[in-house]
Amino acid sequence: MSMSRDDILANPLNRRYDYVMYEPAFVDFYDNTDFANHGYWDEHTKTASQACQNLVEKLLEFIPRPQGRILDVACGKGEPTRCLLKHYVPSQITAINISEKQLATARPKVPGADFRLMDATALDFPADSFDAVICVEAAFHFNTRRDFLREAIRVLKPGGYLLLADILATREAERSRTFRHEANFLAGPDQYHRMMRDVGFSDVHIIDATEPCWRNYFRYVTRLYHDRYLARQITFERLQEIMAVNYSQVPDLEYYLLVAGSKGPHRIESVALN
């Protein structure tokens, strides 16, 4: 069942991210690109924008041969969507978000793609519409994640693939933190795997990427801003402000997961962390 435009735009996430994602310091951290994710940090990764590109590529490795139509859920300002052009032509790409401001930024990045205002838990597409659905660091915000998974498997064609970069928080964080939902609490990868199977996905693969995605991101932020402080590019007060945000996530975040599942018997490719 689709959701009204007014209800979508009223989501309080818009007020937060329409501000945060356009802050000059936020954009600067991502090398003046429009990425907004933790990313995937291997030994060769030097910048936040490179890490974010790595993350999209790592998720697409789950698909034996990327082809057909793909849906990018919670596309942000369109940088992850633009990464899809390595494997898809614009006419194969549909991207959705709940923010008109972010969609307006995203559309020029992939001319010819179909960008739409839509809630992930109420996808306004017919069944069997897409060969792949990808969602990068957003499912933990959905109310609920399970509702999104049901919608994802509905709109996937038989043999289609769901690809997720997702974050699991503690029960207390899911209960008390803003923009989280206690119904989304999962104790770990095993519970996530069972949920995927319960919804109907087969050949489910889950990789614990907490080290390359979360901890290496944390280390990069810590090093970057301490280096800037040492170079007197930022004040001590600004350093404290930035690190307080980073430190506050440590008690909450349990797992950073890369998740893939297929609708039907098609095989998911094995993906290795490097």
Q: What is the CATH number of the domain that holds 250?
A: 3.40.50.150
Inside any domain, residue 178 = yes
Inside any domain, residue 86 = yes
CA–CA distance, 86 with 84 (Å, rounded to integer): 5
Question: Edge-to-edge strand order for the sheet containing 130-136?
Answer: 114-117, 93-97, 70-73, 130-136, 156-169, 253-262, 202-208
Return the DSSP state at 233.
Answer: S
Instruction: Kindly report, residue by residue over 193-218, the tens digit of the pLDDT.
Output: 999 999 999 999 999 999 999 999 99
Q: State the pLDDT at residue 79.
A: 98
Q: In whole numbers, what is the pLDDT of the chain averaged over residues?
A: 94
HEC readout, 242-271: HHHHHHHHCCCEEEEEEEEEECCCCCCCCC
- Over range 43-63, report the average pLDDT: 98
Inside any domain, residue 208 = yes
Q: Are 68 and 130 in contact (CB under 8 A)?
A: yes
CA–CA distance, 115 with 75 (Å, rounded to integer): 9
CA–CA distance, 225 with 206 (Å, rounded to integer): 32
Q: Are 168 and 186 in contact (CB under 8 A)?
A: yes
Residue 107 main-chain phi, psi, to 5 deg: -55, -45
Position 270 pLDDT exceeds 80: no
Q: Are 95 and 10 in contact (CB under 8 A)?
A: no
Q: State the pLDDT at residue 179.
A: 65
Q: Are 202 and 153 in contact (CB under 8 A)?
A: no
Range of the domain at 258: 5-262
Q: Are 69 and 131 in contact (CB under 8 A)?
A: yes
Number of structural domains (the chain) is: 1
Measured on CA atoms in the order 206, 39, 10, 69, is the torsion positive or negative? negative
Inside any domain, residue 267 = no
Instruction: Kindly report, residue by residue over 236-262, the tens digit of the pLDDT.
Output: 999 999 999 999 999 999 999 999 999
Omega cis (within 30) before 121? no
Inside any domain, residue 254 = yes
Return the DSSP state at 123.
Answer: -
- Whole-model pTM? 0.95
Inside any domain, residue 270 = no
Position 266 pLDDT exceeds 70: no
Which of 64-73, 80-89, 206-215, 261-270 bottoms out in mean pLDDT, i.e. has the lowest?
261-270
Q: Are 196 and 164 in contact (CB under 8 A)?
A: no
